[in-house]
Each structure stands twice: as structure tokens, then as C-alpha cells.
Amino acid sequence: MKSRISLRQHYLRATKDALLTLVKAGLWFHCSPKLQAGAQIQNDFFGINIAPSSDPRADDYIVERLRELDLQNVRMDFTYASLGSDAERLLQRVLAEGFKVMLDLLPPFDDAVVLADDSVAQERWREFIETVTDRYGVQVNCFEIGATPNRGRWSGFEPLSYLVAWEIACKQLAGQDILLAGPNVSDFEPISNIILLAEMQRQGNAPDIHTDNLFVERVIEPEAYDHRVFGRWMTNIFKFNLVKKARIYADLTHRFGVKQTVCSYKCWTTKRLSRFSDTPEIRKANYLVRYLVIAATSGALDKVYWGPLICSRDGLITDGAEGYPKIDNVSFYKEVRGDYEQFQPGNAYYALQNLVRLLSGAECVQVVSADNGINHFIFNTGQNTQLHIGWTRDRYVLPLQSLYTQQQIDEASFLDTCGETLDHQAISFSEQPLFLQFVEPQATKINVEQIERLVIPKNTVYPYVDGVEFIPWHEGDWIGAIAVKTGEKLLEKADSMLPESLLSLPQLGVHRDQRNKVWSIKNPLNPDETLIVKQNRVQGLKKFSYRFKASKGERHWNNASEMIRRGVNSPKPIAYFERTKNAAITHNYYVCEFVADAFSARDAFVVFAQGEEQYSGFDKDTIFRAIAHYTCKMHNNQIIHYDLSGGNLLMTKNDHGQIDVTAIDIGRAAIFEGKKITEKMRLIDLRRICYKLDWPNREIFMQAYFDEYGQVFGPGWRKPLGNYERKQRTKRKIKQALKRIRGKH
């Protein structure tokens, strides 16, 4: 059978269908991006993608994990080679165990490429459909046909070949009581959905279930508006967030006579998250909860299959395998590639387990998912409790007392993202979802509209640090932020960090007292800890120029927070405070952890310049490589220090006998989003690091940096180093001359 229409006819039809639907839908301006209360979450809303292993023990493991997750809905990919293989063994097992299976039937890549016109490939496809139907048609919950027809490089499909595959499957299954699902478009590309659904309806073969892989990875956060649909300048006009995308797909489901809308595959990859975070597994769990809560309350999706269950890069359970299959798992989750002994559930696994347990059968009675970054949900559960879930967008925090009375906070039970009960009272919502359970129904102390109008200051960045909560603080004419460790009392911590308290404490040592003052103190709440206090003083012309900048205290806090978020060592921020008026040009304060038992790169470099080969128990090569690794990682994470002298790089010996490097004095650092860090920008830092080294050692250090970077700079890299050396030499001579002149007078 040849394709019923030519390629030209297909494009003409596709254009007509797309334009007509877009006009009728009014570009979906009627689809609101805002959530509304009232959603009832069905017990079978949550599902998972599974795949076989060559080790039969994995079948038992998968079934045990599915029971542990309390999931009944599973989805499997199944192709020609699956018959009689590990995949069929697993399929038979989960069917025997009573799981509801969505079986995704797909041809091999090479057959999918030619399916539109190759009669032999079409016959193989028909025979495959017939065989699978005969064996499992009455047992599976539904058949999904094909995968990702808009990602031909993964699946082999183009729209025409997919439509032929669909038509053959529909003819083969005609008259049988079998649910059919498709077209499994990947990501948010509604034009692809329109083209395929319109042609499927024209064939008289509209699916029973409209499937799509509704990813939001490209905007990172689940709540974000997608700037890639119509460009950044249209982002806040169309407001394509997860809610609106799901509702658009539900609208297409209705327009083309389909009964259900299902997201058949969704995940965040560890590889992608590692670009933005040093704790990708924690962020994966956070995003899973945030995505699924929003999806479940959108009222637009009937089911979401998370996927995959087991995979080192994408899965809820890692399997220790390296690399990644040639065909992406979203198109064909073929197999579990790692060893059974390496299977290890991650945070996201326990986050899903917690969510399924708490939300299945729940009713959403209040919802906020606002542009101010606040997300807050109240559910009546079937467990005689009321569940509140709250979080903020990344980098924000919201004090619990903004939404609750102290009595309500005292009565709540707190659970973290993974369902662990907290042994302390939480103080704030952050990017990590927080669960509050109440025995009796509780209303927030302000209503939905008031919550949506709350102002969360977006100029302060908050990091993730295990065992620490962060909170903004305003007292008198001081404003800032503090870090509260588990076990510390909020009011006591805030009082101890106010500038009046800091200035009254004994100084252990003054490390600098020129333009700014830096000194160390004992932590007033824990005398075994030492803290660093930096008092930023603005003088001269800077009293004018700094009026247009954030205070240095805030800049230190934000830079430290962002560096920690990106996995670049910096002393952990404890507090910062500035005046409520003229913050940048009045004294402001920054408090951070003290780096104990450290030596600086400058100390080591001075010794190396004198011909020594070791310092503080480490040889020169080890020290150079540690500094090169740290600096290159910082640059790769889009951070330029701008004051990276040897004295601002501290080194300590860790528990494994290796060197840990930490950057200090980070107030001038520039942290970029999505900007390529050029060689010229990298040399801004590298020339300062190299200043105390002689040229032979500079060559050795720069080679260590090139090894970390994976490439060598252009031939002119030595010139900026030489220019900086001459500049510093000239400045030193001028200072010496001025000193002599002053001495004569």
C-alpha cells in the first residue's frame, strides 16, 4: 500500500488544517495559564515507563518497586525484536501481576523511515500488529501506535509514514474492543498534533487517547512561561506555561473527537540539570513534584506516565550504566542497560512515592500558582487530613508566617519532598516543595488574591544547602537575609546577626581594614564555629556611582548563593544586612563561614617562584591542577570573579587527602545566564592568578588549565598576562614614588 496522498498534497492539507484550527481556536487565548481549585485527582492519574533487563532478576525488582510506588499504570515500548525476548518476558510478568499496561507498538527505525511507500515494510508492520493483538489484545489496557513522529532522527518517522502506520494498525484492529492511543508528539509542538490528528480524523480513525510527551525541560522550571514558542518578546503575551500547554492539548483532544489526553513520557535528565546545579538529583525530585502537582490540578490531563523508571541519566532509579542509547529513551525505551547490582533509587523515586501516596484521590480546594513565584495548594485527602503543598520559584523564599498564623505552624506536621517527616518546625517555603499536614481543615490567613499580590523580593538569591533554611529579614531600619541551621531558633539567630550585635562581639582577628573591614568572630550561637564579618564602607566618588548598584553586602550574598547553586565552592553565606534607605552607600554587612586550616594560592606561588616544588604537603603539580580545575569549573559555570588574585583562592585538605579550593572576596564577581564565557573573559581571572608566578610556572599552570578546559587558547594568550604584570609594576612604582614625595613633606 502506498501513501494515499502525495507529499505535496500532504503539505497543502497540513497547512490548511493548521491555519484553520489556529483560527478556530483563536490562538488559544481562551486557554488560561492560571490554575483553578476543584480538580479531583483520580487514583490512576500517575503512571511510569518501564523496560526490560537481560537479567531476569530485574523483573522481580521492577514489580517490587511498582508495588512500593503504589502504581497500577505502566507503559512499555514494544517492537519486532521484543517478541520472544526480555521485553516479552517482562510484559507477561506485569500483565500476570495485574498492572494496567499501555503498550507502545513501534516499528524498527529502518522500517519507520520507509513505511510510507515500502509494501514489504508495511506487511511486516501489519503482521507484527496482528501477532501482538492475538497474544495480548484482551490483556493490555490500550495500544499506543508509534512514537515521536516529530523527531524523525530518533524514531525514523515522518508525518506521512506515521499516518500510514496508524492506518494499518487501525484496519488491523477494526472491530476489536481495543483502545488506541497516539500520535505521541514530543514536546510542545501543537502544529504537529493538529496535522496528525486532523488526518487521523479524516481517515475515520481518530484515537481514543491523545498522547503527547509534554516536556518543559527547555525552560528548566515547571512553572516558567516558554519563551521559545514565539520568542522572548511575546513570552508574557501568550503565557505558554505547563498549565496552558496542557489545556491547549486538551482543547485539541476535544476538537478532534478524542476522549482522553495523556502525557505518555516526561522526565528531567541528570545531564541537563547538571549544567545548572551541583545537586541534580535533588533538583530532579523538586521538579518532579512541582510538575506533577501542577499537571494533576490543571484539569487538562487524564494521566501522566513518568519515565523512565530505571536509567542512569533519566530515571528515578540509577543503574550504573555509562553513556546513553543511540535512540533516545523518549522514542524507544528499549532496555535497562546497567547491572542489577547497581540499581539504586534516587530522591525522585521517593518523591514520586510520596506524591502518589498523598495525592491519589485527593480534591484540590485552593490553588495559587502566581507570577510572583508563589505556588500553594490545599487538598482534602481521603486520609482524614488536609494536605498543604507549597514552594517558590528557584532562588526565592517565602516565610511561612506570610500565609499561616503561628498557631497553625505549631499544629502542622511537616514533610520534605521525599516524604520524610521533619524533626523541626519549618520556617519558609523555598524551591523545594514542602508538605504540611493538618488534622483539621485550615485556611491560609490571607486569601488567594492577596497571596497572588504578595511581593517576593527578586533581588536576593537563595541557595540550596542541606540542613539550612534561608529567610529574608526586616527589623527596624535594617533589611537583609539570614541562614538558619536545623536546631537554631529563628528569632535568636536573627537577633545575633543584626549589625549592632555583630559590632558588640569580641573580634578574634582583623584581616583587613582599609576601604572595607574584615574580621572574625565566634558564632554567638555556637562558640565552636568561627564566622567572618565584612563591613562594606563606601567613600569618595563611589558614594555616587554605588547609588545605582546593589549594596556590596547583597552582592556578596547573591554571588555566594549562586556559586553554591552551581557547585562552585564559596564560604556559605550566613547573613547580610543593609539600611532600608541608601543601602548601597551606607555601611552594610555580610557574614559568612570561616575557612579553617587554609592556605592561599599566593602563599604557594611565592614559594614556587623561589624554586621550591612543594607547599603544605602538596607538590606543585597537585596544587596547580587543583586551582586549574576549580577555576575552569567556575568559568564553565559562567562565573567570572574579576578579582581572582592568589590571596582570594583558599585551599584546604579534605577527608580524602585531596585539595578543596574556595574563592573569597566575591563581591565583584559577574554571574551570567546563557552567555558563552570567551577566552578573553577567562583571561581576566587567569592573568591575576598568574601574577605571582614566574613565566616557567605560568606556562605549567596554564597548561593545567588547558587540560581542564579541553583545548588550548589562541597563540596570543601570553600577552594579557604580560600586560597585567607591567600594569601592576607601574602601579607599584607610582605608589612608591608618591610615598617618597609624602615622606619629604
| Domain CATH number, residue 678 | 1.10.510
Give the percent of the chain with pLDDT over 70. Answer: 97
Q: So what's the pLDDT on residue 514?
A: 81
pLDDT in tens, 469-512: 999 999 999 999 999 999 999 999 999 999 999 999 999 999 98
Determine what percent of the chain falls in helix, strand and coil, rounding each to the nearest 5.
40, 20, 40
Q: So what's the pLDDT on residue 1?
A: 53
Count H helices and E strands in the chain, helices first. Answer: 24, 31
Residue 34 lies in a domain: no
For 38-73, the DSSP string reads: --B--TT-EEEE----SSTHHHHHHHHHHHHHT--E
- State whether 432 and 486 are in the same domain: no
Residue 232 lies in a domain: yes
pLDDT in tens, 415-466: 999 999 999 999 999 999 999 999 999 999 999 999 999 999 889 999 999 9
Q: Which set of grid coordinates corresponds to residue 632?
A: 575552569
Of 282, 276, 275, 278, the residue nearest 570 (C-alpha)? 278
pLDDT in tens, 299-357: 999 999 998 999 999 999 999 999 889 999 999 999 999 999 999 999 999 999 999 99
pLDDT in tens, 344-399: 999 999 999 999 999 999 999 999 999 999 999 999 997 778 999 999 999 999 99
For residues 576 and 554, the answer to whether their CB atoms sit within 8 Å is yes
Average pLDDT over residues 125-129: 98
Which residues are within 8 A (CB) of 62 and not within 5 positions of it... i.e. 6 or more apart?
Answer: 50, 90, 94, 309, 310
Q: So what's the pLDDT on residue 731?
A: 87
CA atoms within 13 A on the CB side of 178: 29
Nearest-angstrom CA–CA distance, 78 and 334:
8
**CA 460 remoteness from chain centre:** 19
- State whether 48 and 195 are in the same domain: yes
Residue 515 predicted with pLDDT over 90: no
**CA 428 remoteness from chain centre:** 20
Picking from 335, 359, 383, the residue at the C-terminal end of a domain is: 359
- State whether 672 and 589 are in the same domain: no
- State whether 610 and 519 are in the same domain: no
Nearest-angstrom CA–CA distance, 570 and 639:
12
Q: So what's the pLDDT on residue 586?
A: 82
Handedness of CA 169, 171, 172, 174 (dihedral sign): positive
Q: Tell me the sheet residues that pair with 588.
A: 536
* Residues counted in the chain: 745
Residue scoring higher pLDDT (739 or 94):
94
Domain limits for position 677: 599-736
Q: Tell me the sheet residues that pair with 585.
A: none
Considering only 178-182, 280-284, 331-335, 712-716, which range has the smallest mean pLDDT? 712-716
Nearest-angstrom CA–CA distance, 663 and 626:
13
Buried residues in 494-515 as b, exposed as e (16+ CB within 10 A):
bebbbbeebeeeeeeeeeeeee
Which residues are within 8 A (CB) of 423 and not within 5 positions of it... i.e. 6 or more apart?
Answer: none
For residues 532 and 593, the answer to whether their CB atoms sit within 8 Å is yes
- State whether 327 and 216 are in the same domain: yes
CB atoms within 10 A of CB 461: 22
Buried residues in 265-283 as b, exposed as e (16+ CB within 10 A):
bbbbbbebbeebbbbbbbb
Residue 135 lies in a domain: yes
pLDDT in tens, 64-94: 999 999 999 999 999 999 999 999 999 999 9
Q: In 77-179, which ranges are continuous DSSP H helix?
A: 86-96, 109-114, 119-136, 152-155, 159-173
Confidence of residue 584 (pLDDT cuts 50, 70, 90): low
Average pLDDT over all residues of the chain? 94
Kindly provide the residue ranges of all beta strands, DSSP E only, lying in 278-416, ordered along the sequence. 303-306, 317-318, 344-345, 363-369, 374-380, 386-392, 398-399, 413-415
SS3 114: helix
| 597: exposed, middle or buried (Cβ count in 10 Å: 0-12, 13-18, 19+) | exposed
Instruction: Give the largest Cα separation in the chain, rounded.
Output: 107
Nearest-angstrom CA–CA distance, 576 and 482:
7
Of 718, 648, 709, the residue nearest 683 (C-alpha)? 718
Q: So what's the pLDDT on residue 93?
A: 98
Residue 461 lies in a domain: no
- State whether 103 and 135 are in the same domain: yes
- State whether 135 and 170 are in the same domain: yes
pLDDT in tens, 521-579: 999 999 999 999 999 887 666 665 566 678 999 999 999 999 999 999 999 999 999 99
Picking from 314, 336, 359, the residue at the C-terminal end of a domain is: 359
Residue 459 lies in a domain: no
Question: Which helix (H) or strand (E) segment is 650 a member of?
Answer: strand 649-653
Give the percent of the chain with pLDDT over 90. Answer: 86
Picking from 333, 359, 385, the residue at the C-terminal end of a domain is: 359
- State whether 379 and 343 are in the same domain: no
Q: Tell me the sheet residues that pair with 591.
A: 533, 575
Nearest-angstrom CA–CA distance, 554 and 560:
10
- State whether 391 and 484 are in the same domain: no
Residue 300 lies in a domain: yes
- State whether 51 and 172 are in the same domain: yes
Residue 666 lies in a domain: yes
Q: Tell me the sheet residues that pair with 705.
A: none
Of 607, 628, 631, 632, the residue nearest 617 (C-alpha)? 607
Q: What CATH number corresponds to the domain at position 393?
A: 2.60.40
Average pLDDT over residues 163-185: 95
Average pLDDT over residues 712-716: 90
Residue 216 predicted with pLDDT over 80: yes
Q: Tell me the sheet residues that pair with 310.
A: 317
Residue 113 lies in a domain: yes
Unique residue bearing C-alpha cell 523564599 = 397
End-to-end Cα, the chain, rounded Å: 103
Q: What CATH number corresponds to the domain at position 14?
A: 3.20.20.80
- State whether 473 and 344 are in the same domain: no
The C-alpha torsion from 425 through 430 and 435 to 437, rounded to 10°, is 50
Please confirm whether the linkage preceding 183 is cis (ω < 30° from 0).
Answer: yes
- State whether 478 and 586 are in the same domain: yes
For residues 186 and 213, the answer to whether their CB atoms sit within 8 Å is yes
SS3 432: coil
Our count of domains for the chain comes to 4
Nearest-angstrom CA–CA distance, 400 and 52:
45
